[in-house]
Amino acid sequence: MALTKKPKKDNSKDSNVEEFISAGLGNELDKATGDVSDENIKYVQLRLYPDEIKKIDDYLESLPRRNRPSRHSFIVNAILEKVNSLKS
């Protein structure tokens, strides 16, 4: 029975993952507010009809899994896009 050494860990994959995470989809809120301390965040409760949530979920399901944002991120980004378009 032959013994072999354990393969060395490839750290380049870890750095690629860190870059991907830092470039993430959820950074829109950071860009919009600048500072993300708890003092600057206001919590809002949003109420939507079930059929509207179903439309959002159906759209998100149609996206490729690796590019699919969470429902929360999608809704926040949609609100930010609308607010930014009003500024123009």
pLDDT digits (tens, 9 = 90+) for 26-79: 455 455 545 566 778 888 899 999 999 999 999 999 999 998 999 999 999 999
Question: Domain range spanning residue 75?
Answer: 38-88
Give the pLDDT of residue 6.
78
The pTM of this model reads 0.54
Does residue 45 fall inside a structural domain?
A: yes
Task: Mean pLDDT check: name the lowest of 3-7, 19-23, 44-48.
Answer: 19-23
**Domain total for the chain?**
1
Any domain includes 85: yes
CA separation for the pair 45, 43 (Å, rounded): 7
**Residue 11 located in a structural domain:** no
User: Which pLDDT does position 17 carry in this prediction?
Assistant: 62
Residue 87 in any domain: the answer is: yes
| Mean pLDDT score, 10-31 | 57
Q: Classify residue 83: in a domain, yes or no.
A: yes
Q: Is residue 49 part of a domain?
A: yes
Would you say residue 88 lies in a domain?
yes
